[in-house]
Chain A
Amino acid sequence: MVAPSFLARAALALTIALGGLLVAPAAITAAAAAETTDATDTVGVTIGAVDLDGPAIVEVPVTVRNQSTAALRTLTVSFRGPVGWQVAPASRSVSGAVKPGAGATVTFSVRVPERRPGFHLRTFTATATYRGGDGAGAAVGTRVERSGEPMADLAAAFNNTGITDESATAAGNFDGAGNSFSAQKLADVGLGRGAEVEALGATLAMPDVAPGTADNVASGGQAVKVSGSGNALVLLGSGSSFSATGTVTVFYTDGTSSTAETGLPNWSFQETDAHGATLVASSVGRNRPDGYGDAAYQYRVFANSVPLTAGKTVDFVVLPTNSALHVFAMGLAG
């Protein structure tokens, strides 16, 4: 057979590995992970289970299985955990050849930090480079370990105060500088407390909380329950920077998942269609720590959507890891 290019094969291996995650979004079992290497005539990389009960040093086996018809030579395996996690060594070499149908297992030490409350996805990546074998030169395996449960709804994840009353502005801090939307000015444009909003085919509700209290999610990878099905997931919110973007991951009840990029424009001054978003409403001025002001400017709320896999029922959504992306509401369209 003609060997695919290195990039294509690496991408294939990665896709297959992620497929393992899609089938089992809870901690992937070793058996499930092993399924990622079942393709014939390939070199596959399997990462063993990672015990997330830290703080501890845990040993993680990585197996490179040679399903091709030629021996692997000069095999080296590198390993990475979540950013900032200590892995030692960074790579290991395997002496000798790995015959067709055989495998080689190397072990890495990982410093696992104390288990944190809340929902977390921990991604581990192993890359094998070699000569011979399927001729691709490299193969990648990924394992995602999950801990914790999604939050019951978006309100449970509220961690930022973005709307304040003009008579009490000090509690607000939408942008990290103590500024916030004016509750009065938002109400003037139909975005009052608990107001229903039609956006991108979804019916959403503004936060039903008092001004000056936590009313939005500054996105940080929170996992939130969202039940139902549809064509798209719609986010209602705004950005506190010009780069309020990130990846949304939607998990379905059948254990699969999908990902999509999204973003919301900065609450002022940025183009209203930045990152593919749609303007929902513009309010006049904003609340500053010392009171209402900046009335010459518009402070806006936007919507954006990500597609859902047809025919599947949403279980929960993992928001991007970008706290500049503020979400007031989230719902399904179509």
Chain B
Amino acid sequence: MQTTSITTPDTTPDTKLATGFSRRSVLGSAAAVGGAALGIGALTAGATPARAAGQRTMVNQAFEAHEIVRIGLIGLGNRGSGMARGWADIPGAHVVAVCDIRADRAKRVADDLVARGKTRPKEYGGERGSFKQMLDREELDLVYIATPWEFHYDQARNSMLAGAHVAVELPIATELNELWDLVNTSEMTRKHLLLAENCSYGRNELAMLKMAHEGVFGDITHGAGGYLHDLRALLFNDGYYTDDWRRLWHTRSTASFYPMHGLAPIAAAMDINRGDRAVTLAATATAPRGLADYRERFVPRDHRSWKEEYINGDRISCEITTSGGRTISAEHNVSQPRPYSRINSIEGSRGLFEDYVGGDSTGARVYAEPLHSGDTWRGFKELRQEFDHWLWKELEDDASGSGHGGMDYILQWRLIQTMRAGLVPDIDVYDSAMWCSPVPLSVESLAKKGKPVEIPDFTRGNWRKPRVGLDSRQTEMPPVP
């Protein structure tokens, strides 16, 4: 396929799965290799590397219009295979290639798409570098990556270098120099990279966003979000996370691995990178108790996990401050018993919104002056209907039955729409880098006994400009030729 020539060396890390990780790097990933090779070195929080010649901002950069979006999928495990149907079902999107290190998965997904009446995609797989073969041989407009976290950075970077836009599952990278390198690569290649943050398209989240912009909550002062999900059974399940990849991250570092599902909607409601900026992060961590306790009670003694030591705290809390005087609490806990929550709460000078509290059928409650009085919570249903995002009004029927309550389909539909219509994406590389920065920054703050560390300005000053983002104006999906 057509490629963009950039004089940065191939930094494909010799990543090892399973227990082969060293704890010498911040998170034990292969990040230091890539960063060093790029000349970025061991970036500390807050440092802003200079732009290379020819590198320009991607702020407000529209996609080039695509009549048809040709998609390649990398990673066809639980998430990737689940999303494959969605991509193929979006009008004007063609899944033309599928890739997994396990070739049988690629065949299975290809078979499934054919069974659903789609053109058979080309299959790639069998080895770690199979995705590169796909990138070399196929003309791709979009690459979707749903592999274990340790592969995201390298695969995303190579996809942009190969000339494709990229949507990456959480997180886009786990090290600061990797995040910067993805920003730089996007700016250099003029290809968008975005976090496939489906929760940014949640119905409650989008209504909350529109209410924040309307001023229902007054001047926003605080928000809280995170990922509180009891994953213990899945983490110890044989096969759910291939080669135990996700559980093994808990043996490598103490870090907020995955707070983005809750952080991203709050950041959007606060217009982070679109008028405000996250400036510091301070992390705390509890002791790691949950996984060992679960293993003790439910996992046979001859299971391989008994060779592991879990060092990640059960709850990692990140307190983020913004340039506008706001605060954000971003939480991560996947190793203790609890009902699911992304917290998703926001408050301001005129009111507040709290999700996951069972207010009514929406699961949320609200209180805002002058609509409400008496210091009594109200259910969210009426206001959600009033502030319902056009994407949900238009796509509710199509999205019903798709993954995660329809958020997956909305994300996929909107991304394809913006690509086909030549619009500015709702989420860009700067949003993605900031939302993922708590992963390395929590490590750095914890190493400093919880002291605040600077959050880089990935926009290099462009955060001051208001931009539309997720609170978009309704537009049509272009007709399929």
Are B468's CB and A241's CB within 8 A?
A: no
Chain A residues within an 8 Å CB radius of B473 = 54-56
Residue of B nearest to A322 (CB): B370
Docked pose: A203 CA to B471 CA in angstroms:
47
- A contact residues around B472 at 8 Å (CB): 55
Chain A min CB distance to B469 (Å): 9
Bound form: Cα–Cα A83–B218 in Å: 5
A281 to chain B, nearest CB (A): 23
- Are the CB atoms of A84 and B275 closer together than 8 Å? no
- Does A84 lie within 8 Å of B468, measured CB to CB? no
- 1/0 contact string of A197-218 vs chain B (CB within 8 Å): 0000000000000000000001
In the complex, are the beta carbons of A321 and B370 less than 8 A apart? yes
A219 near B220 (CB under 8 angstroms)? no
A189-241 CB contacts (< 8 Å) to partner B: 218-221, 240-241
Q: A113-B210, A324-B374 are in contact. Are A85 and B215 (CB under 8 A)?
A: yes
**Interface mask (A311-331 → B, CB under 8 Å = 1, otherwise 0):** 000000000111110000000
Taking a contact as CB atoms under 8 Å apart, the answer to whether B374 and A84 are in contact is no
Cα-based distance from A84 to B368 in the complex (angstroms): 12
Chain B residues whose CB sits within 8 angstroms of the CB of A113 once the complex forms: 210, 213-215, 471
User: B residues within 8 A CB of A109?
Assistant: 465-466
Give chain B nearest CB distance to A8 CB in angstroms: 29
- Determine whether B217 belongs to the interface, using a CB cutoff of 8 Å to chain A: yes
Q: How far is the CA of A176 from the CA of B468 in the complex (A)?
A: 35
* Nearest chain B residue, comparing its CB with the CB of A221: B370
Pick from B219, B371, B467: contact of A220, CB under 8 Å:
B371
Report A224 CB to chain B, min CB distance, Å.
Answer: 16
CB neighbours (8 Å) of B216 from chain A are 84
- Least distance between A51 CB and chain B CB atoms (Å): 12
Does chain B have a CB within 8 A of A296? Answer: no
| A321 contact set on B, CB distance < 8 A | 369-370
**Bitwise interface map of B from 453 to 466 toward A, beta carbon under 8 Å scored 1, else 0:** 00000000000111
- Which chain A residue has the least Cβ–Cβ distance from B376? A176
Interface residues on A, range: 20 to 34
A107 sits at the interface (CB 8 A): no
B435-464 vs A, Cβ < 8 Å mask (1 yes, 0 no):
000000000000000000000000000001
Residue of A nearest to B220 (CB): A84
A88 within 8 Å of B by Cβ? yes
**Chain B residues with CB below 8 A from A241, complex form:** 373-374
* Closest Cβ–Cβ distance, residue B368 to chain A (whole Å): 9
Enumerate chain B residues within 8 angstroms of A110, measured Cβ to Cβ: 466
- Out of A82, A175, A176, name the residue touching B215 (CB < 8 Å): A82
A contact residues around B465 at 8 Å (CB): 88, 109
List B383-404 residues whose CB lies under 8 Å from chain A: 386
- Whether B373 lies near A324 (C-beta < 8 A) is yes
Measured in the bound complex, the distance between the Cα atoms of B465 and A54 in whole Å is: 17
Given contacts A55-B471, A111-B271, A111-B275, contact A84 B350 (CB under 8 A): yes
Instruction: Give the distance in Å from the alpha carbon of A110 to the alpha carbon of B271 in the complex.
Output: 12
Q: Which of chain B's residues has its CB closest to A81's CB?
A: B215
Q: Which residues of chain A are near B219, meaning CB under 8 Å?
A: 83-84
Q: Are B275 and A219 in contact (CB under 8 A)?
A: no
B471 and A83 contacting across the interface, CB-CB below 8 Å: no
Shortest distance from the beta carbon of B446 to any chain A beta carbon, whole Å: 33
Task: Give every chain A residue within 8 A of B214 (Cβ-Cβ).
Answer: 84, 113-114, 116
Nearest-CB residue, chain A, relative to B214: A113
B471 CB contacts on chain A under 8 angstroms: 55, 113-114
**B373 and A323 contacting across the interface, CB-CB below 8 Å:** yes
- Say whether, besides A84-B218, A113-B210, A176 and B466 are in contact (CB < 8 Å): no
Is A168's beta carbon under 8 Å from chain B?
A: no
Contact present for B373 and A322 (CB under 8 Å) = yes
The 8 closest A-B pairs by CB, nearest first: A84-B215, A176-B374, A324-B373, A176-B376, A321-B370, A113-B213, A113-B214, A55-B471
Task: List 15 A–B pairs whose Cβ atoms lie within 8 Å, in order of A's numbering.
Answer: A54-B473, A55-B468, A55-B472, A56-B473, A57-B466, A57-B468, A82-B215, A83-B219, A84-B216, A86-B466, A114-B210, A175-B374, A176-B373, A220-B371, A324-B373
Apart from A55-B473, A176-B378, A322-B373, list 11 A-B contacts with CB within 8 A: A55-B472, A57-B466, A83-B219, A83-B349, A84-B350, A85-B213, A88-B466, A113-B215, A113-B471, A116-B214, A176-B373
